[in-house]
A and B are shown apart, each in its own frame.
Chain A
Amino acid sequence: MQHRHLPDLSPDADGLAPQAAALDVKDLRVSFGAGPAIVDGVDITLQRGRILCLVGESGSGKSLTALSLMRLLPPSAQLACTRFDLLGEDIAGAGEDALNAIRGNRMAMVFQEPMTALNPVMTVGDQVTEALVVHQGLSKQAARAAALDMFRRVQIPAPETRLKAYPHQLSGGMRQRVMIAMALMCRPAILIADEPTTALDVTIQSQILRLIDQLRAELGTAVLFITHNLAVVAEIADEIAVMYAGRIVERASRADLFGDPQHPYTLALFAAMPRADERGRPLAAIEGQVPSPGAMPAGCRFAPRCPFVVAHCETTYPPLREISRDHWIACWRAPLEEHVS
């Protein structure tokens, strides 16, 4: 009975139709001033208790996508979309007050560097309980009990002591656990994790991934996990979207993406990783760079770096099409074996 004061977010508990996605955003576009769209027509659907991974290199627009979903864009940015539904409810036109009630409560975010996201002069206990006091009107005492419980869930050793610690007294891995605990305090429907393990050691990364995996199962949270490293998500992703220069170029279940990768960019990402049988051989680096927003190619944005490019690719952007069931790809040349001799 320890969670009686917390809303139950298990599927169906809140009376919504069970099939309503946790978050459903269509044709998301973000631009600055009169400039081109940096995020250009991205669809994101997060299902309860499932993990969608968004993969792409620096400059692909993945972090900007995350900030748009949280509605945390700077004032200079323009956001447009044709749908923005949170738990089946349209919040596209929600004002700042409504969004403040949602952020940290229904949607929460974890960042790459927990040290900069935590307040250095407040104990982590005070920071973690703040959301419960603000959003759910809990007494300090009740909030503290809930925080202690959440610290145990995210496997922070000696949680009573750690509640009184300041961020600098914790290791990087511990700080990230605190961030995750803080994000989950109000049992949000949605957790957005932007490169949460990139700054951590591999051993700690592995533990944090397992933790996120456990918590989404336990709490029914929908997770958007953002990373530049495809391999990192090989274990926990239900679905993977590969992003390049502001657009999604391939989207598939984990099994399909790792078993039947289609897009030349996805293949290039795989090929660039050092594997056992590549020892001593040059790695297949992707030459060139992500195009800058001011100089987007007219056709397929990957065309300048793509070894399979033909004239059509350079003039016309390939739309996302379903190449097999629930496997979407934006490439004129797929499947490659049918088009490349």
Chain B
Amino acid sequence: MSALLEVAHLSKTFVSGGGLFRAAKSARVVTDVSFSLQRGDVFALVGESGSGKTTIGRMLLRLIEPDAGHITFDGIDVRSLPPVELRRLRRRVQIIFQDPFGSLDPRVRIGAAIAEPIRLHQLRPANQIADRVAELLTLVGLDASYANRFPHEFSGGQRQRVAIARALAVEPDLIVCDEPVSALDLSIQAQVVNLLGELRATLGVSYVFISHDMAVVRHLATHVGVLYAGRLVESGPSETIFADPRHPYTRMLLAATPSPVPGAMRSRETITGEPPSPYAEWAQCRFASRCEHRIDACLAADPPLAAVAPAPRLSACIRAAELPDFAAFDDGESRMTAAYRLRLDLLRRARLPKVSHV
């Protein structure tokens, strides 16, 4: 099966400043990033601020032009598309952002906002557009009558649903989700995560899911790419990455992830430092300054991604195979107290739809 999305050696450098008396500075925000995504899969790009994950997301739609590399979407060479064809591509690849308020025009009723791409791409005859908008609103769990409302009348979670409805309006194959739940309250976050999962199951839509939240990524992703300072440092199937991470940075991210089950807590003494400046030049492992497993050899060269069992996992750590066993990030029910488990179970049962026995 050929991949829905194939990204090879993608790179981007932003040049800033520069003038009569000042040399321009170049920030290498993405360096040689490759990954692929099969139809129906969820590829998560995780990393801290400045790791390049948002830039990669935008390059996939050519909202930012890459400097080098290839992007192949369903056999189409995305980088060489002329503007007309690019518009057609954007019908098939959509993006939703962290702040749904920023991506909705405050003066446009949301029904009109959702109808616009349908009209633009001539996906429905004019007399069927209103029905389609109602259908989309229902699909994302909103009342069809909300079409007449303005964005400010919605809560954060509802706005994100509107943004998702608008992305779905063009019946895309792939949605790039850029931190879609980070700005939401926990309870609302769960609703949106569930919605994304349902849409994948029912419509077969694939996601590139950009996030810094490992717990959400574990929940949704089928594949994970961990970015550090613009480079992938580990990638592979989600189960592999979470059960046995083989890059110290992946381990740091996992250790820093808050858990609702305190028994699952691990030592956080080793979580130190900040991501490096994008202006840095690299002749050593980028993560070395924060790494508890650093040895002299780490300072000799920037290690490339290499296979570390089980296939198809890659890690850019020269000590990947010899890292100590990783106590899996287990915050399952077995770690809870009996009372916690009992009441959670009561809650779960109380929420089941009531069945009437006659």
Which A residues lie at the B interface, using CB under 8 A? 57-58, 171-174, 201-207, 210, 228-232, 234-235, 254, 258-262, 264, 267-280, 282-287, 289, 307-308, 336-337, 340
Q: Are A286 and B190 interface neighbours, CB within 8 A?
A: yes
Q: Determine the main DSSP class of B at the interface with A.
A: helix
Chain A residues with CB under 8 A of B36: none
A271 B348 Cβ-Cβ under 8 A = yes
Question: Is B271 part of the binding interface, using a Cβ–Cβ cutoff of 8 Å?
Answer: yes
Question: B residues within 8 A CB of A254?
Answer: 262
Q: A285-B190, A307-B351, A337-B346 are in contact. Are A202 and B339 (CB under 8 A)?
A: no
> In the complex, given contacts A234-B265, A258-B340, A264-B347, what are 11 additional A-B residue pairs having Cβ atoms less than 8 angstroms apart?
A57-B188, A205-B256, A206-B255, A231-B260, A260-B339, A270-B340, A271-B347, A273-B260, A276-B330, A280-B197, A283-B219
Interface set, chain B 327-350, CB cutoff 8 A to A: 328-334, 337, 339-340, 342-344, 346-348, 350
Bound together, the chains give a CA A277 to CA B332 distance in angstroms of 5
A271 touches B49 (CB 8 A): no
Of A228, A254, A285, chain B has the most CB atoms within 10 Å of the CB of A285
Known: A57-B186, A201-B49. A275 touches B261 (CB 8 A): yes
- With A271-B344, A274-B193, A286-B187 in contact, is A206–B256 under 8 Å at CB? yes
Q: How many angstroms between the C-alpha atoms of A340 and B215 in the bound complex?
A: 31
Does B244 belong to the interface (CB within 8 Å)?
no
The distance from the CB of A286 to the nearest CB of chain B, in whole angstroms, is 4
B258 touches A229 (CB 8 A): yes
Tell me the bound Cα distance from A231 to B264 in angstroms.
Answer: 11
Please determine whether B272 and A207 come into contact, CB atoms closer than 8 angstroms: yes
Considering only CB atoms, which chain B residue lies closest to A56 in the complex? B185
Are B259 and A261 neighbours in the complex by a CB distance under 8 Å? no
Expressed in whole angstroms, the minimum distance between the Cβ of B124 and any Cβ of chain A is: 30
CB–CB B253/A283 < 8 A:
no
Contact (A268, B219) CB under 8 Å given A230-B260, A276-B332: no
Query: How many Å lie between the Cα of A203 and that of B155 in the bound state?
Result: 29
Q: Answer yes or no: B199 CB below 8 A from chain A CBs.
A: no
| A260 pairs with B215, CB closer than 8 A | no
A114 to chain B, nearest CB (A): 14
Q: How many residues of B contact A (CB 8 A)?
A: 58
Partner of A340, one of B188, B194, B265, B350: B350
Find out whether the CB atom of A202 lies under 8 angstroms from the CB atom of B262.
no
Contacts of B185 in A (CB 8 A): 57-58, 228
Selected A-B contacts with CB under 8 Å, 21 pairs? A58-B155, A202-B253, A204-B274, A206-B255, A206-B271, A207-B272, A229-B258, A231-B258, A234-B259, A259-B340, A261-B343, A269-B186, A270-B344, A271-B344, A273-B190, A276-B242, A282-B198, A284-B348, A285-B187, A285-B188, A307-B350
Is the pair B214, A202 in contact by a Cβ cutoff of 8 Å? yes
Q: Which residues of chain B are near A234, meaning CB under 8 Å?
A: 258-260, 262, 265
A307 to B332, CA, bound (A): 23
Tell me the bound Cα distance from A5 to B15 in angstroms: 48
B265 to A235, Cβ gap below 8 A? yes
Give the residues in chain A near B331, CB-CB below 8 Å: 275-276
Q: Which of B258, B268, B343 contacts A232 (CB 8 A)?
A: B258
Does A231 lie within 8 Å of B259, measured CB to CB? yes
Q: Tell me if B26 is interfacial: C-beta within 8 Å of chain A.
A: no
A258 neighbours in B (Cβ, 8 Å)? 260-262, 337, 340
Distance in Å: Cβ of A58 to nearest Cβ of chain B? 5
Interface contact A173-B274, CB-CB below 8 Å: yes
Smallest CB gap from B215: residue in A: A274
Q: Which of A58, A285, A307 contacts B191 (CB 8 A)?
A: A285
Complex CA gap A19/B253 in Å reads: 41
In order of increasing CB-CB distance, the 3 nearest A-B pairs are A231-B258, A277-B332, A307-B350
Q: Does B291 contact A (CB under 8 A)?
A: no
